[in-house]
A and B are shown apart, each in its own frame.
Chain A
Amino acid sequence: MKMTGDQRIAAPRQRVWQALNDPEILKQCIPGCQSLDRESDTRLKAVIAIKVGPIGARFAGAVTLSDLDPPNSYTISGEGQGGAAGFAKGGAKVRLTEDEGATRLSYDVDAQVGGRLAQLGGPIIDATAKQLAGSFFKKFGEIVASAEAQPVEMQASAVTPPAGPAAAADRGPALAQAGGPQARSEARRSPSLEHQGPPMAWILGLVVAAMVGFMVGHAHGGTSYWVGLAIGLLVLAAAAAGYEFGRRAAAPVITLDPELLERLTRGSKP
């Protein structure tokens, strides 16, 4: 499916650019991100545990970048595998433009899901996507704003999953810190960030919305909404993996959720 739109962000482009390129921020923007571990320069393992009501799912995925023209535009494409659940993949052409001191980000998304996800997905995914993209904007706005307000030293501690909305809100300032000057300094340390630092996770947030939009248009099954919801979140999860990975590899790599794998390979005996 295709989805286009744009979003005004009340922050200078450079600030938006960099905040969106800080893995620490992104990890915390992504619900249920349990770990985002770099295994090598070309391999990254991400484990994201999504839980919405009874729907719980784990996802692992990868993303590639192309048509890089920083800081103006780029194309991002991500793909993730959900094991029994199926797969999700999406891409977006993104443009950033100055807008009276703020930043206008316009996107052009194409995405799809497959396998059991698509078979069981339902129309409510649409609503979920809106909700999801909405909250992404909201949280990101908060972060950027508060970061402008009070830059602080960033904690390098490993990221723990947000306990939920309340906890996430608490973490607002912390996220801000992460997005602060520290990010820039890190950027300097790692030149790749300068060119390859498009707001991928955010874009993929939109990809998610796009996918679920797609689901609305094409998938059916009024009573299976929850799966669609899972899809949305899963793909966002994939985005996280994709984010990091996209900066390091040219081809997608699929990794399986180690915990589930471990439980499976442990077999039926306790």
Chain B
Amino acid sequence: MSEHPIDVTINGQKHSGRVEARRSLCDFLRMDGGYTGVHVGCEHGVCGACTVIVDGLAVRSCLMLAVQANGASITTVEGLAAPDGTLHPVQQALRDEHGLQCGFCTPGVVMSLAALTAGNEKPSVDTLMAALSGHICRCTGYQGIKRAVRRLAGEPQPSEHA
């Protein structure tokens, strides 16, 4: 099997090294980069927990070879909050709306929503909700995640509490 040099920028930091051709991007980020916030839930591209942002786009890091990321700029969930700990708006919305329980699928959800709301993007609730179909959460029943989505899109919440 072949081994290949790889240079990537992860959360603003340059990483250089060599990787086996067969190494997945999620394994590279976790094991070589130490970005253990990238969670591996299924390794076949369904659950979405391993979602990261590669050159601005939310992608499944289990469905990319590490070597394919050579030259790319990658953002993981560790790269969103401000240095002083101030949460990214997506993280804050999920926290305020109790959008997580065990937290295992959370980094993937965060990265998909962060990619879609980056910069001046003002995606509709429908766009964001559609992106949620690419994530499986076993704990929350998606209640808080949907509320966070509405908050991010500036939509009112349905009154829920008696």
Contacts and interface: CB of A to CB of B under 8 A. Distances in A.
B55 interface: no
B82 interface: no
Interface string B1-34: 1110000000000000000100000000000000
A263 to B, nearest CB: 7
Contacts of B20: 268
A270 interface: yes
Nearest to B22: A268
Contacts of A263: 1
A263 B20 CA distance: 13
Contacts of A266: 1
B161 to A, nearest CB: 40
7 contacts: A263-B1, A266-B1, A268-B1, A268-B20, A270-B1, A270-B2, A270-B3
Interface of B: 1-3, 20
Contacts of A268: 1, 20
A270 B2 CA distance: 6
Nearest to A267: B1
Interface in A243-270: 263, 266, 268, 270
Contacts of A270: 1-3
B82 to A, nearest CB: 39
Nearest to A264: B1
B75 to A, nearest CB: 29
Main SS class of interface, A: loop
B114 to A, nearest CB: 29
Contacts of B1: 263, 266, 268, 270
A266 B3 CA distance: 13
Nearest to A269: B3
A84 to B, nearest CB: 14
A181 to B, nearest CB: 47
Contacts of B2: 270
Interface in A101-120: none
Nearest to A223: B46
B46 to A, nearest CB: 10
Nearest to A263: B1
A156 B144 CA distance: 72
B119 to A, nearest CB: 35
A268 B1 CA distance: 7
Q: Which of B1, B2, B3, B20 has the most CB of A within 10 A?
A: B1
A266 B1 CA distance: 9
B67 to A, nearest CB: 13
A47 to B, nearest CB: 19
A263 B1 CA distance: 7
A218 B20 CA distance: 39
B124 to A, nearest CB: 29
**4 shortest A-B CB distances, which residue pairs?**
A270-B3, A270-B2, A268-B20, A263-B1
A34 B1 CA distance: 21
Nearest to B4: A270
A119 to B, nearest CB: 13
A260 to B, nearest CB: 11
A161 B158 CA distance: 64
Nearest to B2: A270
Contacts of B3: 270
B20 to A, nearest CB: 6
